[in-house]
Amino acid sequence: MFLGVSKEGSQVRFSVFSEHASGIDLCLFSDDEKKETRIPLFKNNDNVWSVALENIPVGQKYGYRAYGDFAPDRGLYFNPNKLLIDPYARELTSSISDWEDPALNLSNTLDSAPIVPKCVVVFDDEKQDDIKYPYLHKKPQTEWKDTIIYEANVKGFSAQYPELPEEVRGKFLAFAQPQVIQYLKSLGITHLELMPVTTTCGGLQLKKEKGLSDYWGYNPINHFALDKRYGSREDFKFMVNELHKAGIEVGLDVVYNHSGEFGATHNLISYKGLDAPNYYRLTADGELINTTGCGNSINTNTAVVQKMIEDSLRYFATDMGVDGFRFDLAGDCALDENTRFNADGKFMQTVHRIARELNVKISGEPWSAVGGYYRGHMQGFMEWNDKHKEALRRFYRGDENIVPDLAGHISGGEGLYFGQKMSKYIRFVSAHDGFTAYDVVSYNEKNNWANNENNNDGDNNNASAASPNREIAFRRLKSMMVANILSRGVPLICAGDELARTQRGNNNAYCQDNELTWLNWKNFSREQRELYILIRKVIALRSAHSSFANLDVFTGNIVPSNGRKDIEWIRPDGREMEINDWHNSQNHILACVINGRNGEISENKQSHQNKDDDFMILMCGNTYGVINFKLPPPPNSGSWSVVFDTANSRKKINEDGTYSLEPYSYVLLTSKSENSNTRTPLNLLKKKVNER
């Protein structure tokens, strides 16, 4: 069944799904929206209501009104007084800014047409797009192992970017500007992941008089139409074209688990008014099930929702040139009809098939907001790993008994998929949801008072701690971010973390569209510049060395060519760690030697050709003093040299073969191999981190 607006010769057909409606009107609006013309639709055997009309121009504004029972006890909310958005509309006139307007209420007789965005008739022309945007469909197709993700809010990234024209700041077009592309390229970003960009409706708790708004955009009312706050469809295509030309992929954060219609007593905007039993999870007595914490849960098991998800993904991947999708609450989307997780259910099958057919990247959160945690079970997904984030934060806070857990995370060996030997995790220190990386080392508790929820919102468990001084704060920040980039898996950087962005302790800034959340591009301190330069160099190092740009899981097995393990965990006396060392809760040091020939024993055939330098990692939590760490010999002969130390950029190995390891530091050593297949000379990466 085809849904949405389509061309049929000289006619334009409007099609919308509803199994339970008794009638549906197409509502055509004049340009000024003051005149409305209603045209009845006709239902076929597939429960698709449609009509084909002559003389419908591109730009025609429209919506729907649905008739039927208003019976919440049966999950029915038909109310023809409410104008409904076409779930397949490719363009809307606006987002909903006045979400408190009583006309949106589902049960009264107020006409909602003045407040509800109008759908707009638009069509894509692939041939014309290929002429205007020659790189739109020429996707970089960067391998997962080489991917560096940069998560950004469209507005927040560039709202204060001083080098950009005022008219493009906070818009899609900002990411198409040469100076922004150069910034991303110089940092080493390969994949720009944008927070939700489709049209939304803010939550009822957001009070406009308090200056609050739906900044993050996680309350979608449509999965095709771009949010007008960020620009047009043409702007989006131009952005993708320019980023593709520079070799940077574009990914979207998609929200298929709930909608902005909230609960059973709230707004009537689209899905709920067209056919709630087919779009939402309902109890036997018609109540909206809320596994997402947002008032409703989209029912990903019905045919119409599966089709909507598939068509939405296809639209953005083909017409709009998108390279990948990050699924918000992917674990919730994978719940079956009984709200039990199903790794082989309808949602997972649909996404896997689309990912194969469209050759796009798929990642997501392996959990449900109110009860399910499925890390390690989202087969075919790159999973967001919040446990990795927590382990890094706790280690560099100085927590006890965290070393074994952290070792599993940085080596990629935790939570494997049913015996698979690849790390399938997105690694991050912070993301949009929670503290910024700098706030992790600066605040003991959240500071969300500005959200107007009495500081009750946001996570209370942040594994954060205020540092005793600025030097230690930046050392902890550098160490966490470097450890994240060099862990086995796919690293993600939350926009601004490389510049020590702060939200002044707000760990749930979903409603703060202001300078609290916007990146500040002015007046960088020496510490901020040093942080940026270090992160840029470490990303370059990761890209150059297969010991890091690799998804293989370390095994601890012997590499025949040199008789050493692929990874060795070392204690401060230079010997391998033993069982008692792993169970020592007071241990605050984690160190390992990475054998440059580790690919020889990998089950991944591509890794067999990898011949890299040897590396040694020294990680130190809170040891209350300097530790003289005895360095073991490199696996492939040679000697160790210092690549960087987050505590001191000029540190050297002591004459007695030890290294003076300082608290809260991350140190990388290397032994150069003459036969390595490195793509970048290592000495280019060993310059002082305080260079300008």
Scan for tokens 């002591």, then name that residue.
Answer: 654
81 within 8 A of 104, measured Cβ to Cβ: no
- Residue ending a domain, among 504, 521, 544, is 544
473/585 same-domain check: no
If pLDDT is split at 50, 70 and 90, which confidence band does 603 have?
Answer: confident
Quote the pLDDT of residue 688: 40
Percent of the chain with pLDDT over 90: 86
309/442 same-domain check: yes
- Mean pLDDT across the chain: 93
- Residue ending a domain, among 485, 513, 544, is 544
Q: How far apart are CA 215 and CA 200, in angstroms?
A: 10
Scan for tokens 């003051």, then name that residue.
Answer: 34
526/397 same-domain check: yes
Quote the pLDDT of residue 202: 76
489/571 same-domain check: no
DSSP secondary structure letter of residue 311: H
Quote the pLDDT of residue 6: 97
591/477 same-domain check: no
Ordered DSSP codes for 259-297: -TT-STTSB-SSHHHHHHHHHB-B-TTSPBP-SSSSS--
Quote the pLDDT of residue 578: 96
Q: Looking at the predicted structure, is the pLDDT value of residue 409 above 50?
A: yes
Quote the pLDDT of residue 415: 55
Question: What is the CATH classification number for the domain harbouring 301?
Answer: 3.20.20.80
Smallest CA-to-CA distance from 572 within 586, 559, 558 is with: 586
The total of other beta-carbon atoms located within 10 Å of residue 118's CB is 22
pLDDT 10s digits, 641-650: 999 999 998 8
607/531 same-domain check: no
Number of domains in the chain: 2
Quote the pLDDT of residue 380: 87
Q: Looking at the predicted structure, is the pLDDT value of residue 97 above 80?
A: no
Q: How far apart are CA 128 and CA 132, in angstroms?
A: 6
Q: How far apart are CA 664 and CA 160, in angstroms?
A: 33
Mean pLDDT of 468-478: 97
pTM exceeding the 0.85 threshold for the entire prediction: yes
410/532 same-domain check: yes
If pLDDT is split at 50, 70 and 90, which confidence band does 535 have?
Answer: very high
Scan for tokens 């019905």, then name that residue.
Answer: 302
16 inside domain: no
Quote the pLDDT of residue 605: 78
Give me 172's structure tokens. Answer: 């899609």
Smallest CA-to-CA distance from 103 within 267, 234, 229, 264 is with: 267
Side-chain-side CA neighbours of 8 within 13 Å: the count stands at: 14
Q: β-strands 658-661, 627-630: how paired?
A: antiparallel
Residue type, 319: D
Mean pLDDT of 302-325: 97
Of 63-72, 83-92, 335-344, 409-418, the least confident: 409-418
391/468 same-domain check: yes
Quote the pLDDT of residue 604: 83
Q: How far apart are CA 48 and CA 239, in angstroms?
A: 35
DSSP secondary structure letter of residue 317: I
533/610 same-domain check: no
79 inside domain: no
If pLDDT is split at 50, 70 and 90, which confidence band does 676 have?
Answer: low
573 inside domain: yes
Side-chain-side CA neighbours of 526 within 13 Å: the count stands at: 4
If pLDDT is split at 50, 70 and 90, which confidence band does 430 have?
Answer: very high
Q: How far apart are CA 158 and CA 194, in angstroms?
A: 13
Give me 454's structure tokens. Answer: 């009495």
Percent of the chain with pLDDT over 70: 95
36 inside domain: no
80 inside domain: no
Smallest CA-to-CA distance from 17 within 269, 221, 262, 276 is with: 276
Quote the pLDDT of residue 262: 87
pLDDT 10s digits, 113-156: 999 999 999 999 989 999 999 999 999 999 999 999 999 999 99
Smallest CA-to-CA distance from 226 within 237, 215, 242, 212 is with: 237
Quote the pLDDT of residue 471: 97
Q: How far apart are CA 278 and CA 302, in angstroms?
A: 6
Going through 305-452 in order, the beta strands assigned E by DSSP cover 324-327, 361-364, 367-368, 372-373, 382-384, 425-427
The total of other beta-carbon atoms located within 10 Å of residue 303's CB is 14
182 inside domain: yes
347 inside domain: yes
278 inside domain: no
Question: What is the CATH classification number for the domain harbouring 631?
Answer: 2.60.40.1180
| Boundaries of domain holding 538 | 147-262+297-544
DSSP secondary structure letter of residue 240: H
254/398 same-domain check: yes
537/569 same-domain check: no
Q: Which residues are catalytic?
A: 328, 365
If pLDDT is split at 50, 70 and 90, which confidence band does 210 have?
Answer: confident
Quote the pLDDT of residue 691: 38
- Residue ending a domain, among 493, 515, 544, is 544
Q: How far apart are CA 193 and CA 494, in angstroms?
A: 10
Mean pLDDT of 398-414: 92
495/364 same-domain check: yes
φ/ψ (deg, to 5) at 493: -115, 125
Q: Looking at the predicted structure, is the pLDDT value of residue 450 above 80?
A: yes
